[in-house]
Amino acid sequence: MARLAQTAGLTDVQQEILSTVRDFVDKEIIPVATELEHRDEYPQAIVDGLKELGLFGLMIPEEYGGLGESLLTYALCVEEIARGWMSVSGIINTHFIVAYMLKQHGTQEQKDHFLPRMAAGDIRGAFSMSEPALGSDVSAITSKAVKDGEEYVLTGQKMWLTNGGTSSLVAVLVRSDEGHPEGTAPHKSMTTFLVEKEPGFGEVRPGLTIPGKIDKMGYKGVDTTELIMDGLRIPAERVLGGVTGRGFYQMMDGVEVGRVNVAARGCGVAQRAFELGVRYAQQRHTFGKPIAQHQAIQFKLAEMATKVEAAHAMMVNAARKKDSGERNDLEAGMAKYLASEYCKEVVEDAFRIHGGYGFSKEYEIERLYREAPMLLIGEGTAEIQKMIIGRRLLEEYRFQG
Ligand SMILES: Cc1cc2nc3c(=O)[nH]c(=O)nc-3n(C[C@H](O)[C@H](O)[C@H](O)COP(=O)(O)OP(=O)(O)OC[C@H]3O[C@@H](n4cnc5c(N)ncnc54)[C@H](O)[C@@H]3O)c2cc1C
C-alpha cells in the first residue's frame, strides 16, 4: 500500500530493513497465513526465514551479535509482519521482551550467557506474569520462590504463556519473600527468574511442566500454554539482575515496550483489513455499480483509512519517545489503547464491506476478525491502559490551587 502509514525521517538502514521485511511478508507470509492458521500449524518455515533475516536479534546490541536497532525499527517491522499474520509477530514479541529485559536489567554474566544465542534465534524467549486467577492485577501473584542454599525452589501455576511450548527461556515473575518481611508492598517482593527449559510439552525440566496448547478462537499457530512449577529448582545466579525484589519493575519495563509492540500489531492488522476492504469494494457490484461508488461504503473506507493513519502516528510517537530515553508510559498506553480499538473497528468495517463472503473461511478477513480481539486484552486491557493514562495525566496536570 503506497500512501497510508508512512513514517517520515527514517534512515537508509531503517528503510532497507523495512523493505526487506515487507518483501518477505508479501512473498512468504501472506500467501500461506490463512491456511496455516486454519490448521493451527506452527509456521516453522516462516520462523526460519525470520531467523535468517536476523529479526530475533533486531534490538539486541551489536556486541552480542544483534543488529542494535531502535524500538522504532522494531515496531515498524512488527507492523509489517502483523499485516501478513499477527501470530508471527506474537512469536517474536515475547522473545523481544525477554531480550530487552536482559539488556536493561541482566547481570553481565546473564547478558553474555543468553543474548548472543537469543540474537541468533537459537534461544527463544517467553515471559510469564499471568496466573489462572489474575492477569490485570499483577500484584496478586501467588507463585512463590523459597530460598534453599544457593538455589530457589519455585512452586505455582502460570497461565497464558505465549510461546510457552516453543521457547527455551522463560522469564517468570513470582513472589519471593526472602529478604522481604511479611507486609512488604507486593511490588517490592517479586522477583523475575530466568528459567531455562527444553522446548516442547510435558515435563520439560524436573519440576516444570508445560501442558498442551490452549485452544484459542484466533491467534493460532503460535502456542499459548500454562506453566506448572512444582519444586522447580533454579540457581540464585538466574535471578534477573542478581537481586531479588526487583521483578515487578523489570516486568513493567518489559511490558511498556511490549505495549508499543502490540500497538504496532494493531496498526498492521488494521492496514491489512483496509487493503482487503478497499480492494473488495471496487470488485463487488450492487445496484449497477461497484459498492465503492456508494457513498456509505466510501465513508467507511474514509473512516478506516483515517484510523489507520492515526494509530500509526501514535505508535511511532510512542516508540520514538522511548528511543529518546524518555519515559513513555503515557504515550505507549495511549498508542496501545487507540491502535487496538481502531484495529477492531477497521476489521469490522472491512468485514461488513465483504457482505456474506466475510463470513466464509475462504476470505482472509474472517481470520483478521478472529485475531483483532486478542489485541484488546494482551499487554493490558483497555481499562488498564486507561488507568495508566489517567494516573499519568493527573501527575502531569496536578492542580496547584
Ligand atoms: C492469547 C493470549 C496470550 C497471552 N500471553 C501472555 C503472556 O505471554 N504472558 C503473560 O504473562 N500473560 C499473557 N496473557 C494474559 C493477558 O496479559 C491477560 O489476559 C490480561 O492481562 C487480562 O487479564 P485477565 O485475563 O486475568 O483478565 P482480568 O484481569 O480478570 O480482567 C477481566 C476484566 O475486568 C477488567 N478489569 C480488571 N481490573 C479492573 C479495574 N481495576 N478497573 C476496571 N476494569 C478492570 C479488565 O479490563 C477485563 O475487562 C495472554 C492472554 C491471551 C488471551
| Residue 128 CB less than 6 A away from ligand 1 | yes
| Residue 377 CB less than 6 A away from ligand 1 | yes
Confidence at residue 346, expressed as pLDDT on a 0 to 100 scale: 98
Q: Ligand 1 pocket test: pick from 86, 93, 130 the residue with the most ligand atoms within 8 Å of its Cβ.
A: 130
| Residue 127 CB less than 6 A away from ligand 1 | yes
Q: Residue length, the chain?
A: 401
Neighbours of 34 (CB within 10 A): 18
Confidence at residue 11, expressed as pLDDT on a 0 to 100 scale: 97
DSSP conformation letters of 169-201: EEEEEEEE-TTS-TTS-GGGSEEEEEEE--SSS
Q: Whose CA is nearest to atom 31 of ligand 1?
A: 136
Tell me the catalytic residues: 379
Q: Tens digit of pLDDT per residue, the chain (401 long)?
A: 568 999 999 999 999 999 999 999 999 999 999 999 999 999 999 999 999 999 999 999 999 999 999 999 999 999 999 999 999 999 999 999 999 999 999 999 999 999 999 999 999 999 999 999 999 999 999 999 999 999 999 999 999 999 999 999 999 999 997 656 666 777 889 999 999 999 999 999 999 999 999 999 999 999 999 999 999 999 999 999 999 999 999 999 999 899 999 999 999 999 999 999 999 999 999 999 999 999 999 999 999 999 999 999 999 999 999 999 998 999 999 999 999 999 999 999 999 999 999 999 999 999 999 999 999 999 999 999 999 999 999 999 999 87
What residues contact 175, with CB distance under 8 A and at least 6 apart?
A: 141, 142, 143, 144, 145, 186, 189, 190, 191
| Residue 135 CB less than 6 A away from ligand 1 | yes
| Residue 139 CB less than 6 A away from ligand 1 | no
Distance 331 CA to ligand 1 centre (A): 20
Q: Whose CA is nearest to atom 43 of ligand 1?
A: 383
Of 121, 118, 119, 141, nearest in space to 131 by CA: 141
| Residue 380 CB less than 6 A away from ligand 1 | yes
Q: Which atom of ligand 1 is closest in space to residue 381's alpha carbon?
A: 47
Q: Whose CA is nearest to atom 29 of ligand 1?
A: 136
Distance 380 CA to ligand 1 centre (A): 6
Q: Which atom of ligand 1 is closest in space to residue 133's alpha carbon?
A: 26
Of 69, 56, 79, 149, nearest in space to 313 by CA: 79
> 302 forms bridges with which residues in the sheet?
none
| 159: enclosing H helix or E strand | strand 151-162
Which grid coordinates belong to 23? Answer: 518483501
Confidence at residue 182, expressed as pLDDT on a 0 to 100 scale: 67
Confidence at residue 368, expressed as pLDDT on a 0 to 100 scale: 98
Confidence at residue 275, expressed as pLDDT on a 0 to 100 scale: 98
Confidence at residue 180, expressed as pLDDT on a 0 to 100 scale: 61
Confidence at residue 311, expressed as pLDDT on a 0 to 100 scale: 98
Specify the pTM.
0.96
| Residue 396 CB less than 6 A away from ligand 1 | no
Of 95, 1, 173, 93, nearest in space to 375 by CA: 93
